[in-house]
Structure 1
Amino acid sequence: MRDSIFALATAPGRAAVAVVRLSGAHVGEALRVLAGPLPAPRMASLRRIKAADGETIDQALVLWFEGPASYTGEDSAELHLHGGRAVVERVLQRLAQLGLRLAEPGEFTRRAFENGKLDLAQAEAVADLVDAETETQAKQALDQLGGALSRRYELWRETLLEALALLEAAVDFPDEDLPEDVAARAHPALKTLLVELDEALADAERGRRVRDGYRIALIGAPNAGKSSLLNALVQRDAAIVTATPGTTRDVIETPLVLGGYKVLLADTAGVRETTDEIEGEGVRRARQWAAEADLRLWVVDGSSNDSAWREAQDLVTASDILIVNKSDQPSADISIDFGGQRIGCSTWNTEDMAMLSRTLEMRVIADLSGADFPAATRMRHVESLTEARACLQRAVTTDPELVEVAAEEVRLAARHLSRITGRIDPETVLGKVFSSFCIGK
């Protein structure tokens, strides 16, 4: 029999209320010792929480969830305590004395998965919901927790199994009275599914961006005004601003919310040739962050006649935005060959900054909004989709005479899709999935 576990489910520290969760076969017995007779299931009951000598530790609300009708599928309970540290510590020590142990990160949700309460994609959604910082992140996590992702994968898997049945019929019953084209009948559904997987992989980045944040890099020459622009956009002094070129030596990431989406705005070191080892490392990091960003804002000093802006030109594409900065100062004669959107602004002009914020908000919404729930929200999903797609591609291009080979490829494709929800081989991914959870969830 596995251990019974407990954990503080609310944030540590002083608070009005602290919630302690318990799960396992011995929870009912421990709860009787701690707080008297078990309350009616799912009904809050005010109880005295007692120490080993009978002294009252706290007056708390106690809830009892009899398995399997609980989050974990096991006998479970919650103690809603007063949130003082002394109270919480004494209750946790008392639970340890009663033979329960402190839960590992994600152990409650892992038990829910192992007991069939959630599939693996839904379990990941629990962690995403806990970590959600924006409305759109929370909505995506809730949709996934509600089974939107799992239902899509299950539909694809059913399509593969139906096609597999046709292929295996041709292999296993060649002498039976079956249509001659029974194997060929599987191909239309497989080709349609191949198109859907291609579309899903093309859209996979959207789910990742919503979950992890849309990355915008401020790039340009030293003293172009990148740090001032960052501070104006986030409306606080997040980056140091001086007249000395090369002040910014590292990437400064600042989170903000645009259009309901999480955005990571990064101020980077000025891009230029340098013999300074520290500044050179800053330039290398700036280039790397820019290369991985979803959008680059190429900041150019509109008041300078030098050609320092050319150093960062190789980092941008026509889908990025050119910011001609310092429009409050006398304009220089700059001719830049750039096919993307251009915006002139001054960080001192509130209307300019409001206009730039609106432009960025519309861009983020356009890139991240979509009619359908994304087919992947984590790299693990993308990897399984890619592997399934490769198997499916081989299946539809296999010689028609080699039906056994096509059937095996379809079977492998179904296995790759099943790994996302944990239908098969869950142990290969469980540790990785649940290691990122907080204790108590």
Structure 2
Amino acid sequence: MNTTVYALATPAGRSGVAVIRLSGGGAGGMLDALAGLPRPQPRMATLRAFRDSGGSVMDRGLVLWFPGPGSFTGEDSAEFHVHGGPAVIDAVLSALDEAGAHPAEAGEFTRRAFENEKIDLTEAEGLADLIDAETEGQRVQALSQMSGSLRRLYDGWRDALITAMASIEGEIDFPDEADVPDALSHAAYEPLSELIGSMFEHLDDGRRGERIRTGFSIVLIGAPNAGKSSLLNCLARRDAAIVTDIPGTTRDIVEVQLTLGGFPVVISDTAGLREAVDAIEAEGVRRALDRAEHADLRIGVADARSDEELVDLDGRLTDGDLLVLNKLDLGSVSERDGAYRLSAKSGDGVEALEARIEQIVRDRLSAREMPALSRVRHRRAVETALEALSRCRDQLADAPELAGEDARLAVRALESLTGRVDVEDILDRVFSQFCIGK
């Protein structure tokens, strides 16, 4: 935090313009050395010639000055907007190195913003997600989190819990005081119940936030040669999986990433479900069943002419899953209400299935009034807080001291979400995922 760091904030390589960022106590002096005096007005782009330590002009471009604490990092910061040729970039970076600056590590600018209390940990994670966003759904969720939606939720829970703790601590610390009502901790029961209900509601959302970040998982299951690979290729609009007439061609899981309804989707083709003929196929079937068990949506695929394949799928699909009767082009079709009848080979009927899949994805992942828990880290911390609060509530009447300790554990779990407590391992993990220059 005492050093001045620099980084190329735009992708490496040849480009029209490159942005080089600088942050730290020495940023102002280094800006003067490279761009000359007078120093530009804060937050106003100024055209300057950039010179090296020998006075030679390296380039001409724009420079911006952001004095702390009114900068992204909270420190004195500057940006050099130069021409994006590799030679120009190398010259400016070398000049900064000679001036005493150090190359920034991944996420160091954002970590400094966090350390200087410009943002909290959830907002930093939202920024990382916004940079990585590839779909509209990811962009909307990341922007909301970066704007503080999760911070406000977690801070609200924390404030409510601290208020409830005041009642518990009052009975513990002043049990004989006349102005402290008897069994004051009982007043915390209702607020704790409301808080537990709110946390449970956010946990019981089908992992919506995590699905938006990582992708909604769809698995195709069915007998060998039912047409799963053909359907995958049809939905992907490319030859992602090998298709042959030989049963058991697909041994391992083949994944395709799509965007449906503005959300990321991962569709997996799996090995055909049957009695395996060798150890390799047996492992493929095991993986298929495991992936299907943990999928957000299962699509059972059966040959439309085979009643036996339909029976085999009956025990593997649950409410909300989809059934596809494939090979419509080859002849008579089995009857099954709610099934999608199509030909993956010709594409007939696939459009209706795709529309239904997109609607399911939209229904399960679309934004709602309450912000979604977007990371496994968040979910585990809330689960820890919820367990502690449940114990706290159960012990209010008989053991207020133990209830108070559980309330403190819950507060600590909530504070780890925003980074209020010392969670160095969490910080290292979060900021190591950033790109250099952010």
TM-score when normalising by structure 2: 0.94
Pairwise CA distance, 1:143: 0.9
Q: 1:82 to 1:248 in 2, by over 3 A?
A: farther
2:215 and 2:200 map into 1 onto residues whose CA distance is 23
Contact 2:303 2:309 in 1 (8 A): no
Deviations 1:274-322 (A, max 9, x none): 24344333333322222221101111121357x4666665543232111
Q: Which residue of 1 aligns with 2:220?
A: 218
Matched with 1:190 is 192
Alignment of 1:321 with 2:318, yes or no, is: no
Question: Aligned pair count?
Answer: 436
Alignment correspondent of 2:231: 229
Partner of residue 116, structure 1:
117
1:147-186 alignment runs, 5 A limit: 147-176=148-177, 177-186=179-188
- Deviation per CA, 1:27-59: give whole Å up to 9, x if none: 222222222122111011112222333332222
Distance 1:277 1:15 in 2: 52
2:133 pairs with 1:132: yes
Q: 1:154 to 1:399 in 2, by over 3 A?
A: closer
1:2: which partner in 2?
2
Aligned to 2:382: 385
In structure 2, the CA distance between the partners of 1:303 and 1:436, relative to structure 1 (3 Å rule), is same
2:305 corresponds to:
303
CA distance in 2, matches of 1:399, 1:423: 27
TM-score, reference length from structure 1: 0.93
After superposing the two structures, state which structure 1 stretch, 267-276 or 205-214, moved more: 267-276
Query: In structure 2, do the counterparts of structure 1 residues 274 and 401 end up closer, same or farther at CA, with 3 Å as the change threshold?
Result: closer
Structure 1 residue identity aligned to 2:8: L
8 Å contact 2:47–2:62 — kept in the other structure?
yes
Which digits, 9 at most, give the CA deviation of each residue in 1:107-150, with x for residues without a partner? 11111100000101111111110111111111111111111111
Change (3 A) 1:396 1:25: same
Distance 1:290 1:13 in 2: 42
Q: Which amino acid aligns with 2:99?
A: L
Shift in alpha-carbon separation, 1:110–1:221, aligned structure 2, 3 A:
same
Q: State the 1:205 CA deviation.
A: 0.3
State the Cα distance separating 1:91 from its structure 2 match: 2.1
Measured at CA, do residues 164 and 218 of structure 1 come closer, stay the same or move farther in structure 2, by a change above 3 Å? same
Amino acid aligned to 2:302: V
Q: Quote the residue 1:19 is aligned against.
A: 19
**Aligned counterparts of 2:21 and 2:216: Cα–Cα separation in 1:** 35
Q: Return the alpha-carbon distance in structure 1 between the equivalents of residues 225 and 20 of structure 2.
A: 53
**Separation in 1 of the partners of 2:80 and 2:129?**
25
In the alignment, what sits opposite 1:361?
358
CA contact (8 A) 2:340 2:349 kept: no
User: How much has 1:229 moved relative to structure 2?
Assistant: 0.9
2:373 corresponds to 1:371: no
Contact preservation (8 Å) 2:208, 2:372? no
Instruction: Flag the 1:375–1:388 CA change in 2: closer, same or farther, 3 A.
Output: farther
Q: Residues 204 and 408 from structure 1, CA distance in 2 versus in 1: closer, same or farther, beyond 3 angstroms?
A: farther
The answer (yes or no) to whether the contact 1:206–1:374 under 8 Å persists in 2 is no
The amino acid of 1:322's aligned partner reads L
Q: Higher mean Cα deviation, 89-98 or 359-368?
A: 89-98
How far apart are 1:175 and its partner, in Å? Answer: 2.2
Instruction: Return 5+ residue gaps in structure 2 as ranges.
Output: none
Task: State how far apart, in whole Å, the 1-side matches of 2:293 and 2:382 are.
Answer: 25
RMSD: 2.0
**Who is 1:146 aligned against?**
147
SS at match of 1:354: helix
- Give the stretch that moved more between structures: 397-406 or 68-77: 397-406
Could you say if the C-alpha distance between residues 167 and 259 of structure 1 is closer, same or farther in structure 2, counting changes exceeding 3 Å? same
Q: 1:273 to 1:65 in 2, by over 3 A?
A: same
* Aligned-partner residue type, residue 387 of structure 2: A
Structure 2: distance between partners of 1:290 and 1:212: 17
The answer on whether the counterparts of 1:299 and 1:322 sit within 8 Å (CA) in structure 2 is yes
2:406 maps to 1:409: yes
Task: State how far apart, in whole Å, the 2-side matches of 1:368 and 1:104 are.
Answer: 34
Q: Classify the secondary structure of the residue corresponding to 1:13.
A: coil
In structure 2, distance between residues paired with 1:224 and 1:204: 30
- Structure 1, residues 242-274: CA drift from partner, whole Å, max 9, x if none? 223333232222111111111111122223332
Provide, for residues 388-437 of structure 1, a one-character-per-residue CA deviation record: whole Å limited to 9, x for no partner: 11111111111513211111211211111111001112324101111211
Q: Is the alpha carbon distance of 1:238 and 1:75 closer, same or farther for their aligned partners in structure 2, counting shifts above 3 Å?
A: same
1:350 Cα deviation from its structure 2 partner: 4.7
- Give structure 1 stretches of 5+ with no counterpart: none
